[in-house]
Amino acid sequence: MTSALHSSAYEELRTLFSRLSRFDHLSAISGWDMQTMMPPGGNKARSEALAELSVLRHQLLTNKKTGALLERAQQESLEEIERANLHEMRRQYDNAVLLPDSLVEAKSLAGARCEHAWRTQRPANDWVGFSGNLREVVKLSREEAQIRAHAAGSTRYDALLNLYEPGMRSSDLDRIFADLKTWLPDMLQKVAAKQQQEPCLTPQGPFDVDSQRKLSLSVMALLGFNFDGGRVDVSAHPFCGGVPEDVRITTRYNEKEFLTALLGIIHETGHARYEQNLPREWLGQPVALARSTAIHESQSLFFEMQLARSADFLKILRPLIVNQFGEQPALEEDNFIRLNQRVKPGLIRVDADEVSYPAHVILRYEIERALIEGEIEVEDIPALWDEKMLSYLGQDTVGNYRNGCMQDIHWTDGAFGYFPTYTVGAMYAAQLFQSVRNALPNLSKAISAGDLGQLFHWLQQNIWRHGSRYPTETLITKATGESLNPCYFRQHLENRYL
């Protein structure tokens, strides 16, 4: 993997970044435990321990010696993938060196405090309590954004967006979302009118948690999840965490219905398969990390939307469900397919169908950008949320904070710039799935027969194994023959729903 000709700067950097990845490993597993297993009384001590770890990592990464090594390594003779690795090292260093240790620590503590309190404040519909903690997170996120924007010569929001989706700008998002807004509301109405003519039965519960968990495990196995390198648990908000060698996914169960938890599992398994198939020979190095948040979301939405809501896949999913809960009219094949392709705008983003989902994302993007740019304050969020929810989705959220502006976990730890990558990811997923169809003419027949191997092999060859070797645009162009083209997303929705 490394030639004997190399002098020591690059090798020293490899050793350093291996150490940093071990810090990340500890942080990831400790953070997973915090959200799943840790007793409530442990939050303060755990938050302080994680903040200490983040400061140690930051100090190690931003040491003057690291900067000098990066300069020296730039002059060395490196192979193409080593050059890509060095580029990602430099990117991590440049992003980190801008921030003082004190801000890194303060952000970590404020985020942990806000997220922990959110778990009880959300069920209690306690906006006042939540907003008190969120104000501190926003204040620190604006500080970070200002520092980054000054260095990059960009807007504050673009400086944060760049952490999640390198190279993307809000001007790109504005163009993409403006186009979406021209056709999405009309499509929503057309699909709703069409589906009103198609009666659809709802499965009758209760659906006990133990059976739902068994169903989750069988579906994860069908989707190729490696249980030797991961596990599934319960949390207040579904997520995928851990590290490639030990991926942790979570869902939340409801005995009244099983589809929300199941689709959550499929979504997180998409994230997990990507993590489990990152280039093993480079693990511990930045080049082996997932390319970007939108590429990560493209994998989860590829699984949840492109694959799992397709009639072909629903035909092989249905027997697994019947095996756990028995036959009933709502689980008859045609009804079951209609049920999973039902378009019905609702309050909750993670439960949304794929036609109304982008509206949830655009709403959050517009609010968080205005918040980071200082155009609005935390206390303005509920009224703006209510107004946009009514306008974009026809839903009333006045006074319903728990199912309105408090429903997500992202803002609690200052992940501003993350939300738009969901819809960009959905667009990448549609483009990727079309490319798979072009490459594998018998794909539909293979999926119906339960043979998903070809599909996963294509993803492994074209996305997973490359990690961060290429910039996003290069990765997508290599996989599909063109850079991001939102037309595939619209075409997919029209084909499936109209």
**Which alpha helices (DSSP H) does 408-498 contain, by range?**
420-439, 443-448, 453-462, 472-480, 487-497
Same domain? 187 vs 152: no
pLDDT band (50, 70, 90) for residue 7: low
Q: Is residue 3 part of a domain?
A: no
CATH of the domain at 455: 1.10.1370.30
Q: Is residue 362 part of a domain?
A: yes
Same domain? 96 vs 200: no
pLDDT at 407 over 50: yes
Contact 23, 86 (CB under 8 A): no
* Number of other CB atoms surrounding residue 288 within 10 Å: 22
pLDDT band (50, 70, 90) for residue 2: very low
Q: pLDDT tens digits for 216-231?
A: 999 999 999 999 999 9
Q: Is residue 51 part of a domain?
A: yes
**C-alpha distances out from residue 424 to 126, 177, 222, 288, 421, Å:** 32, 10, 27, 22, 5
Q: pLDDT tens digits for 121-157?
A: 999 999 999 999 999 999 999 999 999 999 999 999 9
Residues 6+ apart with CB under 8 A from 107: 137, 140, 141, 144, 414
Cβ-in-10-Å burial (0-12, 13-18, 19+) of 430 comes to buried
Instruction: Please give the Cα distance from 119 to 333 (Å, whole number).
Output: 38
Same domain? 157 vs 177: no
Q: Is residue 77 part of a domain?
A: yes
Same domain? 199 vs 161: no
pLDDT at 233 over 60: yes
Write down the pLDDT at residue 287: 98
Same domain? 145 vs 194: no
**Which alpha helices (DSSP H) does 302-403 contain, by range?**
311-325, 333-340, 357-372, 381-393
Write down the pLDDT at residue 236: 85
* Number of other CB atoms surrounding residue 41 within 10 Å: 8
Same domain? 387 vs 440: yes
Write down the pLDDT at residue 237: 85
Q: Is residue 110 part of a domain?
A: yes
Same domain? 143 vs 187: no
Same domain? 256 vs 160: no
Q: Is residue 1 part of a domain?
A: no
Same domain? 101 vs 154: yes
Write down the pLDDT at residue 135: 98
Question: Using the 8-state DSSP alphabet, how is residue 249 labeled?
Answer: E
Q: pLDDT tens digits for 159-201?
A: 999 999 999 999 999 999 999 999 999 999 999 999 999 999 9
Instruction: Please give the Cα distance from 176 to 424 (Å, whole number).
Output: 9
Same domain? 194 vs 152: no
pLDDT at 117 over 80: yes
Same domain? 422 vs 312: yes
Torsion of CA 470, 93, 173, 429, to 10 degrees: 40
Angle at 310 between CA 305 and CA 316, to 5 degrees: 115
* Number of other CB atoms surrounding residue 498 within 10 Å: 10
Q: Which of 115, 146, 167 is the last residue of a domain?
A: 167
- Tokens 């490359």 identify what position? 466
Q: pLDDT tens digits for 195-205?
A: 999 999 999 99
Q: pLDDT tens digits for 412-469?
A: 999 999 999 999 999 999 999 999 999 999 999 999 999 999 999 999 999 999 999 9
Same domain? 139 vs 193: no
Q: Which of 101, 136, 167 is the last residue of a domain?
A: 167
Contact 419, 398 (CB under 8 A): no
8 compared with 3, residue with greater pLDDT: 8
What is the number of structural domains in the chain? 2
pLDDT band (50, 70, 90) for residue 324: very high
Residue 95 belongs to what domain range?
8-167
Q: Is residue 408 part of a domain?
A: yes
Residues taking part in catalysis? 268
pLDDT at 18 over 50: yes
Write down the pLDDT at residue 159: 98
Contact 215, 262 (CB under 8 A): yes
Category of 3 on φ-ψ map: left (φ > 0), alpha (ψ -120 to 50) or beta = beta
Tokens of 242: 């851990």
Write down the pLDDT at residue 38: 95
Instruction: Please give the Cα distance from 411 to 176 (Å, whole number).
Output: 23
Q: Which of 134, 167, 200 is the last residue of a domain?
A: 167
Write down the pLDDT at residue 4: 44
* Amino acid code (one letter) for 343: V
Tokens of 44: 């303060």
Write down the pLDDT at residue 1: 47
pLDDT at 3 over 60: no
